[in-house]
Structure 1
Amino acid sequence: MTLKSNDVSMRDLIPSSRRSDRVMTFALALILVTASVALVIGIGSDDGYAEAGDTFTVANGDGIDIEYMIKADGSTVQVGTSNVRDVAVDPSVVSVNIPGTVQYNGVTYKVVELGSYAFYGCSSLKSITIPDGLTVIGFNTFEGCTSLKSVDIPDSVISICGSAFYDCSSLKSVDMSESVMSIGASAFRGCTSLESVAIPDSVATIGASAFEECSSLTSVAIPSSVTDLYQEAFRGCKSLKSVEISDGLKYISSSVFVGCTSLESIVMPSSVTKIYDSAFAGCESLESIVIPSGVKEIGNYAFSGCTSLGTVAIPSSVTVIGYGPFDYCTSLTRIDVDSGNANYVSKDGVLFDKEMTTLIQFPASRGGAYAIPSGVTTIGANAFSGCKSLETVNIPDGMTIIGMYAFEDCVSLTSVTIPSTVASISPSAFNGVCNGNSAAAGATVGHVFDNEYDAECNNGCGYIRDVPGQPGGDDPGVTPGGDDDTPDVPGGDDDTPDAEPEGEGSSNSTLWLAAIIGVIVVIAAILLIVKSRREI
């Protein structure tokens, strides 16, 4: 059969709805191809597009180029990339004015953070202007800026991170705003010219070593807002004469004022419940100390080496005293204990446990002869350390333990008789006694042991050496204050930012993912086009 021109063709036999579907499929495929190509090209280009982690450099009003990095919210930036190898400005700049906002590719970003290492090692930098609106001064931001003399921190700043001004040796003053909530670990460590610092009432945390070795700092007042004062915060502040701590602080952390050789007075609030290990060790000018009535624990060596301290009173609240709390306090004449204390007692100014079985501390200024009361079975660690005028000690029968460093540096000691009941002598018990070049050279240390656990005196080196197998070893024989209870350090190594910024890696991953998706869509679209043309 032959079809005439006016007859219906095969194409006409196909319903119009099916033809429309095929046309729509073809058009959709073309749209997908176009969009995918545009996506890949657009993502591969930096023009007009920015995302978190991207960096750019813009000159400030003074013509100084400053590098910025876009933060996760996409609308704010930080100064610098947080990479120690990538300083935000030319290290030779002398003065920098940080703007409050910065424009890039037509977008205005708010400057909210000085990134970690942003000005690291800029030793020529003398002044910097920080804008209002900035909230964070990052880790190590100004570390090693040895020419920086002063810093005004705006009201918007809430956090000064660890080592922010570490080793800014010319920094004389810091004006902190009333909004700062935390001062990180080592934030101002090594600022040897810093003479004064006003800690605002808003601060809750002062990190470990925050002001360590600020050797020109003369006084400090810690406000009631501070709840955490971490270890070594003011260690080695040799010019520090007075410290006032407002009510609210619950503990004096370990070594917090160690080596503050000029410290003459300190006011501790009634809120303090614990004085940690070596808290005031080496405070040679401290003449008196009032231990608050709420203190429950005094750690190991808490006041060791406070050579001007004359007397001390232990309140009834104290339940734990570590070893050597007042050793080497060479002016100490007596240690008194409140009669209501359930755990400790003073006899003739000497500190014992309540049962009078452990001698904890003998006042180091006392000399001549001393007879340990009968019933005492343990000479605690560092009990007589630094008693340089002590000449003879009578140890009673029944004594079983002589703890580590018990008679260390008792250089005038000429006679100690150890009864046969002693089962454990620490190897360091007589360190520095038989020193070979003083009047103590002729000292004799007697012993009466009839078994294999003999102990012998080494007069040349000045210590009692245990025969292998002798029980006791370096057991201090007392309950220590407990280093395990020392609070964690804020801003420590775990808080230190990584050297490489996260933004760059994240951005690259996004680019690759988008490119892969684009390729898949292109392939799918091509297949749709081929299929559609065949059907048409």
Structure 2
Amino acid sequence: MLRNLRNNLTFYQWDVNQRLICSDTPDGIEVHFILNNSCLVMLTYLENKMCYVDVPNIVFQSSGSVEVYLYLTEGTEGHSEQRSVLKILPRAKPEDYVYEETPVGSYRLLAEQMEHSIHEGKDEILAAIDQAVFDKQLLTSILAGTCEHLTGDAITAVADYIFYNNLTLRSVDLPNCIRIGNQTFSGCENLESLKLPMLFLTDSQAFSDCSSLVTVDLPNLTAAGEHTFSGCRKLVSANLLALTAIPVSMFNRCESLKELFHTDIQSIGSYAFYNCTSLEEVCFPNISEIQMRTFYSCSALRSADIPKVESIAEYGFGGCSSLETIHAPLLKIVGNYAFTNCESLTHIDMENITEVNSNAFLNCTALTEVGFRKMETLSYYAFQGCTALKKGLLPLSVQRILA
């Protein structure tokens, strides 16, 4: 039976460092806290002949109800023995409140519940989440911050923040891991090797600022969170053959990135390749738009093959000083500053362009000629600073010239 020191299961929002008394329960038993479809796993422990379990501080970040289960394991089997419900009563956030990760919270490495809809046909892997048996020595090294090589066939998910800013970790080899949580390995500056062949899903900033990563091979990754590899300054190549959408800032500030292996990218988020200063050419045959600052400041980029793109948002290719040609025959809308400071740009498909917004081609000093057949709107300063421009043709379809 679970209870707090007041002999009930009621707490208050913004509480910290609370624990439950586990009557008639031995130490070392798993206690599962279900929060936002995630399973936070803690272990019971003995203190002064009483058995306790710490409540993760993250549970108190919001009010409401939290399900708690005692989970008994034997070998590779396990089952829930008892269900309780914590009531978190709302209250104002104290002025001196400081959030701290629960010290033994690293045991959340054990699991994160997965939605079957995301991974259809992977039931056997999903089932393994609740059956995993873990190397206690490994867990001890993680808690102590001394883990250099994270390995384990039984580990199927690694929860949020477990290795955040960890400077000891050097390699990850998890052959059955299917999910990496928020900022799980963020800031692991000495992490050099990733072996995650079954990884399907990463949450936000999973590997951000891992500044020693050179190559990434994630052939089964199907869904990635924002900023997944942001700040991985030494990353040269990434194999993401199953990925269909590149999220916001996924490779932001990956200054060494030269190769991205993919097969069917359907969309790319804003800032996705921001300041990727070693990227020389891109080919995305199936995307329909370039969002804000997607390729901003990719100073080595020479060509872009984007045959289905119909719109380029503001600063989409801004600062791409080496960009010479854009293949975008379906392009209709050119946003504000879309090609600003593209000093080498000599060719862009203009036949279907209907709208050119302000400063779209600002300082495109190599552009000598433009010709539009379907232009309807031309905004002010669209070609300001185009010092080599000698010829421009506008059709009768022009409806507005904004000055």
TM-score range, shorter chain: 0.5 to 0.7
Give the 3-state SS of the residue equivalent to 1:289 in structure 2: strand
Structure 1: how far apart are the matches of 2:303 and 2:332?
22
Structure 1: how far apart are the matches of 2:140 and 2:311?
43
Q: 1:309 aligns with which of 289, 307, 323?
A: 323
The Cα of 1:281 is off from its aligned counterpart by 0.8
What is the TM-score normalised by the length of structure 1?
Answer: 0.48
% identical equivalent positions:
25
Structure 2: how far apart are the matches of 1:227 and 1:159?
17
Structure 2: how far apart are the matches of 1:382 and 1:113?
63
The Cα of 1:235 is off from its aligned counterpart by 0.4
Residue 323, structure 1, aligned to residue 336, structure 2: yes
What is the TM-score normalised by the length of structure 2?
Answer: 0.62
Structure 1: how far apart are the matches of 2:22 and 2:318?
65
Structure 2: how far apart are the matches of 1:256 and 1:325?
15
Cross-structure match for 1:165: 185
Cross-structure match for 2:163: 142
Name the CA shift for 1:320/1:72 in 2 (closer, same or farther; >3 Å).
farther
Residue 238, structure 1, aligned to residue 255, structure 2: yes
Matches within 5 A, 1:5-404: 45-48=23-26, 52-53=32-33, 55-56=43-44, 72=69, 74-75=71-72, 84-87=101-104, 110-111=131-132, 124-155=145-176, 157-177=177-197, 179-200=198-219, 202-223=220-241, 225-247=242-264, 249-268=265-284, 270-292=285-307, 294-316=308-330, 318-337=331-350, 339=351, 341=352, 343-344=353-354, 360-361=360-361, 364-366=364-366, 380=379, 383-384=382-383, 387=385, 389=387, 401-402=402-403
Cross-structure match for 1:478: none
The Cα of 1:242 is off from its aligned counterpart by 2.2
Structure 1: how far apart are the matches of 2:243 and 2:146?
32
Structure 2: how far apart are the matches of 1:211 and 1:389?
38
Q: Is the 8 A contact 1:265 1:289 kept in 2?
A: yes
Where do 5+ consecutive residues of structure 1 fail to align?
1-42, 59-66, 91-96, 99-108, 345-351, 403-536
Name the CA shift for 1:48/1:163 in 2 (closer, same or farther; >3 Å).
closer
The Cα of 1:194 is off from its aligned counterpart by 0.6
The Cα of 1:306 is off from its aligned counterpart by 0.6
Where do 5+ consecutive residues of structure 2 fail to align?
1-20, 34-41, 47-53, 57-66, 79-98, 111-129, 393-398
Structure 1: how far apart are the matches of 2:358 and 2:106?
63
Greater strand share, 1 or 2? 2
Structure 1: how far apart are the matches of 2:104 and 2:273?
34
Greater helix share, 1 or 2? 1
CA deviations 1:352-385 (Å, max 9, x no partner) are 65xxx988536612489x9999xx9975366246
Counterpart code for 2:318: S
How many pairs are equivalent?
302
Q: Is the 8 A contact 1:120 1:145 kept in 2?
A: no
Structure 2: how far apart are the matches of 1:267 and 1:273?
13
Structure 2: how far apart are the matches of 1:361 and 1:144?
41
Higher relative contact order (CA 8 A, sep 6+): 1
Name the CA shift for 1:83/1:302 in 2 (closer, same or farther; >3 Å).
same
Q: Is the 8 A contact 2:233 2:254 kept in 1?
A: yes
The Cα of 1:159 is off from its aligned counterpart by 0.6
Structure 2: how far apart are the matches of 1:194 and 1:381?
44
RMSD, aligned CA: 4.4
The Cα of 1:207 is off from its aligned counterpart by 1.2
Q: Is the 8 A contact 1:299 1:325 kept in 2?
A: yes
Counterpart code for 1:174: L
The Cα of 1:228 is off from its aligned counterpart by 2.6
Cross-structure match for 2:118: none
Give the 3-state SS of the residue equivalent to 1:312 in structure 2: strand
